[in-house]
Amino acid sequence: MRSSVSYILSHAPGESVMSHPDYAQHAQHHACVLVLVKGIGGVLKNFNKLWERIQRVNNIKVTDSSGQVRDIWVRYVRDYPVENNDWGDFQTHRRLLGLITLSKFTNQIELNEVCRVHESLKVKYSNTLYDSRAFMFGPGSNLKKPQQEPETYNTYDDDKLKERTSLSDKISLPSDQADSLSSTESFPRSISSNASYSVQEDNFTTPSNFKTHALFYGENDAVPDLEQHVADLINSLFWVVESKRLERSREKLEKVSLLLAPFEKRDFVGLDMESRNNKKRCMGRVTKNLADLTLQAGLVAEALSLYHSSAEILKSVNDWLWLAAAKEGHCATSAILQYPNLRNPTPLQRNASLQESSPSKIKPLSLYQPNTDPFRKFKLHSSPLRSSKTSSPVNPPSELTPSSSDSVETSSRQSETDNADTESLASSSDIDYQSQKSYLSPDLPSIPRQPPSHINNQYLLGGEEIAEKYRKAIIHYSKYQNAGIIETEACFKAARIAVEQNNSLHASSFLQNVIFINLTLSEQEKIQRFDTLAELYKEIGFLRKAAFCQRLAATRQVSANNPNPDWQRCYYLMLHSFPGHKLSLDPNYVIQHQVGWPALQIQLLHELVVAARRMGHPALATRHMTFLLQTMWPHLSRQEHRDLAIQLQALSAQCEGGPVPLVLETGEVIPPANLTHVPSCTYFNPRQLAPARTPHLIKCKANQGPFIFTPIHFGSLERKNKKDEGKMEYLWVEDDICEVQMKLTNPLPFELKVSNMRLLTSGVVFESIPETIILPPDSPTTVNLHGTPKEVGELQILGYSTHTLGVKSNCRLKNMPMPHKFPASFLIQVIPSLPTITIETTLSLSGNINISNPEISGNITNISLYNGESTECTITITNTSNVPIEYLELSIQSNMDNQLQSKVFQWSNEDIQSQLPINAGDVATIVMKLYGEADFLDLGGVGENLFPNSLTSNYPSRVGSPIPNAQTSLPTHSSNPQNSLSSGFIMNRTSGSFRSSNSQTTSWSAPISIMPPSRGRQIETQIVIRYSGGAGREMHCRQTTLQMNLELLPSVSITHWDVLPAEIPSQLYLVLDITNLTNEEMDFHYTPSKHILIEGKESRRVPVPLDRCPFTITIPKNEDDSMEPKSISTGTSTNSLELMCSEHLTKNVDLRWHLLQSNITGRASVKGITLSQTMMDIVRMSPLNWEVSVNKQCIKPQEEYNCMAGECLSLGVAVWNHLSRPLHKLCLSVQFYQDYNNGVLNYKLDNRVATAGNNKVVLTTLLEAAKAYHECTVVFLTPGEYKIDIQCSTTEPIIDEIPAIKDVNQTIVQSCAGEVSHVWRFIPPVAISVTD
Amino acid sequence: MAVCVAVIGKDNSPLYIGGIGNDTSTDNELSRQWLVHTALDALEERLATTNSNNATASANAARTDLRDLYLGLLYSTDTHKIYGYVTNTKIKLVLVTSSTSPSGSNIRDAEVRTALRRLHALYADAICNPFHLPGDQIISQKFDRQVKSLMVNNV
């Protein structure tokens, strides 16, 4: 775009190079009247408010002399360099036409000063200034009222006069500088007369040289007529412009002087001004000037054609600069017409704001109107009078005529303008009303603004044309170095139009051009340039470009060339370039999205930190540094991590970073940045309470179904997973210390101190215990954070907070960096507080030794007991919490079965319950009895070999204990190596031994010393104490486990046993082989009166006299006895009779032992003893009661009967059935034999005995309680010792018997026809000694 | 002469930035990044406008005439000129030439066009690497070497 012939026409920098670019200019400002608004004197506190109110009056409508409504636009500026004023001829909108001062004074001196400043401002802009207003705010509002009345007069007169004076000014202006100066001198003078008496105050008087229309108010006054006065000013300015326009339009084109841009003055020295070319140049320039004025005066359409024609003229004379200006004007005018929105924003805003607050805004107006209306009328009526009066001392026309070029016309023109003025005044008042109306109905002004005819103008440029023309204009401008500022401004204006056109590329190219314009600007202006560029780039969506410009502006702000660096502005510029770098202030957003160019972002953040620090806001510096470290972590190298961390530490030393949002002065909020990378957390998990403190459900929930595990999830899978994420299945307890375990890694190469680590929670109140740790570099460290929930309910663990590198961070799990996926939070149910206990156990062993071992709960108690010994264990429970224990339950888990367990451990539940509740600090004791339950029947090593425990025993703990099996006892007497064969074989082989009870005795010869050393048994027991209390006792309890290791030592064992009939039929002897398995001497009591001493490891045989087992013990009793399963396991000789007998023995045998040395006593039992059939018959009372008589003489047991050989003896046998049922087919037999007492029985007595009568009778039925009697006669033929075996056998089983038994019995009694199933003998056999 | 070449992904993330210069300090590297980064706005705008033009002008026949991949001069600064090129997969190739050096001041558009075409070919070769994940930064040394030689020799 930039012309290659640039600088061709440029000259050395002229004296009046416009050096202050106005970046805020818009194209529509070409049509505006420029008014300076300045606050002078003391600082007015509501200045900004007033400034806004003034700005709203930016468009008023004036009806001109021909009745046409003119739309006048105003641009208010707060500051205007006077140099730019010099370009007023070039582009008239650059002329400052009006001045409004807002001033404050408190006393006369200040008032004088204010007046002086106002006047000096007038002088400063005297070249162009047409009118001014001074709003003065004095102390107190009381002086307003007396002031106002004369003031209104003055206003009117002033207006009138000023217009005249300004008219004169106008006329004089075109001539030259000197003239205009003189005229301006006259201008205040003309007013002076009015102004001098306008200030009539009680105390304050304006200095005599103050010749301005001044308005006085109290400082706190509402200034309701501000808009009105401003509109007055505009109105008066319009008429000046309008008159100048008319004047210009009536000029003879041949006579016009050459208009010059400030730097051109020297160029035309010595040129032929009369040349045709130059004439044309003058014409073109004047036309252009006229076009400017026309545009300002509100005749947009006319301006369009004027611009066009001037451009044509100027093009022909190659006056590039003015051609460019004409083109630009053309473009601006077209743009104004094409895009009314360009102008609208402000008035629309004004209307909108008025509408918003319309009730409040309209009211003062309506209140104000009745006041003003009379004034107005009064003014109107009095105006001629006043004017004549006031103007009389100084005659304006005479003064106005002095040295204008065309004085001929002035007078006439003057009269015209006078007329026009009166008209205008009338119209202006009209306009005022109109404008007031427009306040009330804001739609009104927009209607006359663009008549459709304007748009159809032939010279109107289209969108593309505007851009093209502007481009050309800029190229033309670029040919003049001195017009650099004009060019820059044109670029901005063009860009703004392009923005309006929505053509970003055009806009960007215009903006790009700005860069190339070489201007000697102050740093501040350069910054402004970048700022404006950034603004516009933002508007077209070039955020990156904007950011780039903003950053440039920021760096300029603090560059070395800048004499007064402004770090604050630098900071804000940097901050506002965030969007362009795709950065957000929220670190989480940045981390999640990871867009933008990290290298640039890092650089920017670095600079931002520096800026924040330099501008003296260390908190911000710390925050941004934290942000940098947090968000750019993945893009930084290790070395950078280290450096930044150190820098952060240094920054935070000045101001600590905290997790609170920072609010800037501009209202922007900097959200907190949390360091989650330092230290980085790789694992985070709340932990269950310690086992001893874990709450359990008191009642276990019933299982949902038959399956322990099912892969089928009912309902939607996903939903359930989602819902359960982070939900912990265990419980925490109120007021109990809970723990979260986390694994932290320090990624920095130096030791990192992390202090004040806490848990972040929500939900119930949670008291977190701060933790301080020092992390070594690069090694994961496990850290436990503790805390106490203080309420019942749901606890949500959101994360943790750290304080490291001087920065406090709240690290929330949901914001954790990606590689570690944590749930957003952990949910834990907190239940009401539960008591805690400590447990001590005290053991009192029987005897002297007392072991007291105070132990903490959960520890192990070791106890040794001899089998059969009993002791007491005292469990002391102390309530260590504040919650009373209201529920206590004891249960035992061990490796024993329940029955054994209940025998070993005994306690009283009632006793426990009676001690409840246990209040805080109280102690309860539970006494537990321990008994060394054991099986004392030992069969030596054989049983172990033959029947492994698992097969034969229900006692899981029977390690090394004997197997009480009669069957297995049998092989012991024979050292047969085949005893490990099948049991059936054993039975066959051993069947003989049952033939007689005597045979059993042979086994006694086996040496007892070969018995294996019995080992102790280890019983591991856990005593589970469940307890609860407080509010949560209904649902939950705690559980403490007391480990108790019980060692059961062998004491005595019964290795063999047998039964012998006693001397009395109702009694029997149980013969036991007792082995003392201890090393000490033992005193063994087997009856209450009898005892025996057994040396350690020695064995003794003791007979225990017992009553025989009566029949009356009913069978059902056996059913529930523990013997039952055992007898089944033995498998062969099961019947309830045996159990009954065994039970009988167990009950009646009372064995006690006493270890003399260690003074330990204990018991032993024959529980589980097994009996063979033969033994049982001895043990049991016979079902048949015998009564044997010889020669009618009853035989007593153990009695020997003597008789002579050949003597006839009559043997009578009477049998009673004691059974509860009849016996059938009972075979009663009498047999004689000789006992040689060497184990040989001779039944073959054929020639020694003769019997008469049956020696065998069959009784078909023997009813219960019935008696049968049989008698036979016997004669012993030879002397000798005879015995009579009287027996009764039955062929039908008494109780169901296994065939094996039958076999046995069959072998015993051959004579009975194979059906004998049971034999009862008369014991002892009758012995008869026969003598010669 | 060309001073910098950048490959930018379709999400505007930098895939490769290679530059030749007298100094390889980070400052230089950063300034290159600024240059390329700020060019993205213009590039995107141009893409958007061409696309919309295509769509509106010839809705049905648009598919036949392929848009020119070469976008031309994006913008220029006092010292550099930035040219753009967009592949059909929206991978942006940016070439920065120095306008201060004697050879760079009067560089021809056609030269830049060919250079960018060749760069496109190099890029295509580079991402043919089966171990390269599209969207990742290009770390291939071969690509780097080739691009550098392209900058030195061709532009």
Q: How far apart are CA A1013 and CA A1026, in angstroms?
A: 41
pLDDT bracket for residue A1059 (50, 70, 90): confident
Asked whether the predicted pLDDT for residue A1009 surpasses 50, the reply is no
Give the pLDDT of residue A470. 86
- Span A499-509, average pLDDT: 82
Verify cis geometry, omega within 30 degrees of 0, for the bond prior to A1324: yes
Q: How far apart are CA A253 and CA A257, in angstroms?
A: 9
Q: What is the pLDDT of residue A740?
A: 86
Share of chain A above pLDDT 70, in %: 69
Cβ separation of B38 and A515 shorter than 8 Å? no
Strand partners, A662: A670
Question: Residue A549: closest CA among chain B residues belongs to which residue?
Answer: B38
pLDDT for B26: 56
CA closest to A542 among chain B residues: B41
Q: Which positions in chain B touch A537 (Cβ < 8 Å)?
A: 41
pLDDT tens digits, A20-48: 777 888 888 888 888 888 888 777 777 88
Please state, in angstroms and as integers, the Cα–Cα distance from residue A163 to each residue in A69, A237, A336, B154, following that order: 20, 8, 29, 72
Kind and range of the H or E element at A680? Answer: strand A680-687
By the CB < 8 Å criterion, does B144 face chain A? Answer: no
A1182-1331 sits in which CATH class? mainly beta
Backbone angles phi, psi at A304, to 5 degrees: -55, -50
For CA atoms A1238, A1243, A1248, A1250, give the dihedral sign. positive
> Which residues of chain A are at the B interface, by a Cβ-Cβ cutoff of 8 Å?
504-505, 508, 512, 515-516, 537, 540-545, 547-548, 551, 595-597, 599-600, 603
CB pairs A-B closer than 8 Å: 52
Helix (H) or strand (E) holding A282: helix A276-296
CA closest to B35 among chain A residues: A548
Pick from B11, B34, B76: which is nearest to A548 by CB?
B34
**Euclidean distance between the first and final Cα of chain B, in Å?**
5
Res. B86: pLDDT tops 60? yes
- Share above pLDDT 90 across residues of chain B, in percent, rounded to a whole number: 1
Q: How far is CA A405 from CA A273, A274, A401, in A?
A: 18, 18, 10
Cα–Cα dist A1264/A1219, whole Å? 6
pLDDT for residue A401 is more than 60: no
User: Tell me: the pLDDT tens digits for A633-653?
Assistant: 888 888 888 888 888 888 888
Distance between CA atoms of residues A336 and A457, nearest Å: 13
Taking the domains of chain A in order of start, what are their residue ranges? 28-250+384-428, 463-670, 680-702+719-831, 837-928+1028-1044, 940-1013+1051-1173, 1182-1331
Distant-in-sequence, close-in-space partners of A677: CB < 8 Å, separation ≥ 6 = A629, A630, A633, A747, A817
Binned at pLDDT 50, 70 and 90, residue A1112 comes out as low
Spell out the domains of chain B, with CATH numbers in brackets.
2-153 (3.30.450.70)
Nearest to B38 among A505, A541, A548 (CB): A548
Considering only CA atoms, which of A1012, A1018, A1016 is closest in space to residue A1075?
A: A1012
Instruction: Give the count of beta carbons closer than 10 Å to the beta carbon of residue A1115.
Output: 12
Contact B148/A at CB under 8 A = no
Most B-contacting residue of A542, A543, A643 (CB-CB within 10 A), to test interface:
A542
> A320-338 vs A300-316: helix axis angle to the nearest 10?
160
Kindly state the tokens that stand for A372: 């003003």
Q: Which CATH architecture has domain A680-702+719-831?
A: Sandwich (2.60)
Tens digits of residue pLDDT in A406-447 = 333 333 444 343 443 433 333 333 334 343 333 333 333 333
* CA A1250 to the chain's CA centroid: 112
Give the residue from A839, A956, A944 showing the smallest Cα distance to A904.
A956
pLDDT in tens, A878-916: 888 888 888 888 888 777 777 777 777 888 888 888 877
Query: Strand, helix or coil at A1119?
Result: helix
Task: Indicate the CATH number of A463-670 among 2.130.10, 1.20.120, 2.60.40, 1.25.40.
Answer: 1.25.40
- DSSP run (H or E) holding A217: strand A214-218
CB–CB of A834/A1028 below 8 Å? yes
- Test the B interface: residue of A537, A597, A601, A640 with most B CBs within 10 Å: A597
Calculate mean pLDDT across residues A986-999: 34
B131 reaches A (C-beta below 8 A) = no
Whether A512 sits inside 8 A of B38 (CB atoms) is no
Q: Once rounded to an integer, what is the mean pLDDT over residues B105-109? A: 72
- Helix ranges (H only) for A297-391 are 300-316, 320-338, 345-356, 358-391
Q: What is the mean pLDDT of residues A380-388?
A: 37
Q: For residue A1015, is pLDDT > 70? A: no
pLDDT at A700: 58
Q: Do B41 and A603 touch (CB under 8 A)?
A: no
User: Is the bond leading into A262 cis (omega within 30 degrees of zero)?
Assistant: no
CB < 8 Å to B30, chain A: 599-600, 603
Report the residue of chain A nearest B27, measured CA to CA: A603
The Cα–Cα gap between A31 and A93 comes to 7
**What's the sign of the alpha-carbon dihedral A547, A549, A554, A559?**
positive
Cα separation, A598 vs A637, in Å, equals 12
Three-class secondary structure assignment of A52-109 = HHHHHCCEEEEECCCCCEEEEEEEEECCCCHHHHHHHCCCHHHCEEEEEEEEECCCHH
Distance from CA of B14 to the nearest CA of A (A): 7
- Within 8 A by CB and 6+ apart from A1139, the residues are A1118, A1121, A1123, A1124, A1127
Asked if residue A196 has pLDDT above 60, the reply is no
Decide whether A680-702+719-831 matches A1182-1331 in CATH topology: yes
Check pLDDT > 70 for residue A1104.
yes
> Do the chains contact at A505 and B49, CB–CB below 8 Å?
yes
Q: Which of A111-120, A229-238, A260-269, A395-404 has the lowest mean pLDDT?
A: A395-404
- Predicted-complex ipTM score: 0.83
> Would you call B53 an interface residue with chain A, using a CB distance cutoff of 8 Å?
no
Q: Which tens digit of pLDDT belongs to each residue from A49-105?
A: 888 888 888 788 888 777 788 888 888 888 888 777 777 778 888 888 888 888 888
Residue A547: list chain B partners with CB under 8 A. 38
Task: Read off the pLDDT band of B148 (50, 70, 90).
Answer: confident
pLDDT band at A1317 (very low <50, low <70, confident <90, very high): low
> How high does pLDDT run on average in chain A?
69
User: Hey, which of A965-979, A1126-1140, A1299-1313 has the most confident mean pLDDT?
Assistant: A1126-1140
**Residues A1171-1183 pLDDT 10s:** 777 777 677 766 6
pLDDT tier for residue B102 given thresholds of 50, 70 and 90: low
Q: Which pLDDT value is given to residue A1311?
A: 35
Cβ distance of A537 and B42 shorter than 8 Å: no
Q: Residue A1161: name the closest of A904, A845, A869, A850 by CA.
A: A869
Indicate yes or no: CB of B76 within 8 angstroms of CB of A512.
yes
Q: Tell which residue, A793, A806, A725, has the closest CA to residue A761.
A: A793
How high is the pLDDT of residue A958?
A: 32
Alpha-carbon gap, residue A74 to A237, rounded angstroms: 10
Question: Three-class SS of residue A1267?
Answer: strand
Q: Could you identify the residue written with the tokens 């009117």?
A: A156
Residue A629 has pLDDT above 80, yes or no: yes
